[in-house]
Amino acid sequence: MPIGVFDSGFGGLTVLGALRERFPEQDFIYFGDTANAPYGERSAQEVVDLTIAGCRYLFGRGCGLVILACNTSSAIALRPMQEYFVPADRRVLGVLVPMIEAIAGRPYRGDKRAEAAAQNVLFFATPGTVKSGAFERELALRVSGPRVISVACGGLVSALEGGDKAAAERIVERAVAEALEAAPEPEMAVLGCTHYPLMEAAFRRALPEGVNVLSQGVLVAARLAEYLERFPQFASCGGALELVTSGDVAVVREEAARLFGVALPFKAM
């Protein structure tokens, strides 16, 4: 069974890259809903409907487990999907919980909340993710202690996809300045959007020295390793990769190559 990786577009390739590095023998199907991206500034209902449609496609392609690489989908759609949509023999995992478990310093199994190693955590994400409050909610369930300062980086995804590096840097600087005004001495920063690792250097420049910037791809891969140990039925071997888009294949190939610097053989769904 291939593992499905769902994203609103091609930003989720940052997560897929880390997964492929950790699991070179696993089969993956990546589906980017580029025709409907970006999700970060859509209504909650739209995000839920589109994420369900994307997962339905991946289930239809034989995936038993789907990872929502998109933070906006993970924040807004994951809980309702797990309650009302995911069939009993399939699984959907998001990308926020691995970040939260990194803050907790251990996986959560419904037990006592962990003491956080950090007092002030900065959380940067799309407007939709920040508005959902999901990160704070899921964190509070698992960890006691840290204060979360969430800042929406509106326009950052579009600036990056449009190739406007200067605008992207300005948005990062503004967002970090806003966060530091609320918490001048943070210990951790979470880049809660698929695209933000592409701006990690700018975030690090703007943040005070010594802030631990959590790396989502690596954390998601580590969580998946642990998950597959418990549920080996969702693993496969072969190392095949399919990249599928709902958008215009030529445009997606060109934009993804510009953003990631390599040719990516996307095909139509």
Which of 55, 63, 70, 153 is labelled catalytic?
70
| CB-count exposure of residue 71 (10 Å: 0-12, 13-18, 19+) | buried
Please pick, from the candidates 23, 30, 31, 39, the single residue that binds ligand DGL as defined by CB under 6 A: 39
199 makes contact with ligand DGL (CB under 6 A): no
252 makes contact with ligand DGL (CB under 6 A): no
Please pick, from the candidates 34, 129, 150, 246, the single residue that binds ligand DGL as defined by CB under 6 A: 129
216 makes contact with ligand DGL (CB under 6 A): no
**Which strands, in side-by-side order, build the sheet including 241-245?**
91-93, 65-68, 3-7, 28-32, 241-245, 267-268
Report how far residue 255's alpha carbon sits from residue 161's, in angstroms, rounded to the nearest whole number: 7
146 makes contact with ligand DGL (CB under 6 A): no
Active site residue 70: yes
Q: Which is nearer to ligand DGL, 186 or 217 (CB)?
A: 217
Residue with the two structure tokens 């009993």: 88
217 makes contact with ligand DGL (CB under 6 A): no
Q: Determine how β-strand 28-32 pairs with β-strand 241-245.
A: parallel
Q: What tokens were used for 137?
A: 């909610």
Please pick, from the candidates 2, 4, 9, 146, the single residue that binds ligand DGL as defined by CB under 6 A: 9
Please pick, from the candidates 26, 71, 150, 236, the single residue that binds ligand DGL as defined by CB under 6 A: 71
131 makes contact with ligand DGL (CB under 6 A): no
Report how far residue 3's alpha carbon sits from residue 59's, in angstroms, rounded to the nearest whole number: 9
> Collapsing DSSP states into helix, strand and coil, what is residue 29?
strand
Contacting residues toward ligand DGL, per CB under 6 A:
7-9, 11-12, 37-40, 70-72, 126, 129, 157, 193-195
| Catalytic positions, written as ranges | 70, 193
